[in-house]
Homo-oligomer: A and B are copies of this chain.
């Protein structure tokens, strides 16, 4: 799907908002790509992010995929709006294995107040991606409440 952004500087706004999320910095997650209704975040492997078998912890993966969905939605919002996750559901499809976790979020329903998003998480090993998480989420726009 292709969407029209409501602000010309949507990418700047996403980058700036993400930079203020201390938890994303703590996870080492960085913005890789943003387009209207789409966002990609990458998180390099670190031992601190693992569960008991040495793979990415589901919680760390969910956090960045939820953020990718939230910013995919935020990219379509007007300048005076902020964003909040209403809910999400995720299935683990495979262990989170690899040197990087790639999180991709895309808007599949662009409602005025609610944006429905699909998120995916991929473990990258030697350049090959394996999907390990599928997410379906509901993101809400808070109007007249600037994100700053």
B-contacting residues of A (Cβ < 8 Å)? 17, 20-27, 47-52, 57-60, 62-64, 66-67, 84-94, 108-109, 113-114, 116, 118, 131, 134, 136, 138, 140, 147
Contact of A52 among B85, B93, B94, B147 (CB under 8 A): B147
Q: Is the CB of A109 within 8 A of B89?
A: no
Q: How far is the CA of A84 from the CA of B131 in the complex (A)?
A: 17
Number of copies: 4
Residues in B neighbouring A93, C-beta threshold 8 A: 108-109, 116
Closest to A70 in B: B58
Within the complex, which residue of B63, B91, B134 is in contact with A57, where a contact is CB–CB below 8 Å?
A: B63
Given contacts A58-B66, A64-B59, A91-B136, contact A21 B85 (CB under 8 A): no
A136 touches B89 (CB 8 A): yes
With both beta carbons as reference points, the residue of chain B lying nearest to A47 in the complex is identified as B22
Interface centre among A67, A86, A87 (most CB of B within 10 A): A87
Q: Which residues of B contact A23 (CB under 8 A)?
A: 48-51, 57, 59-60
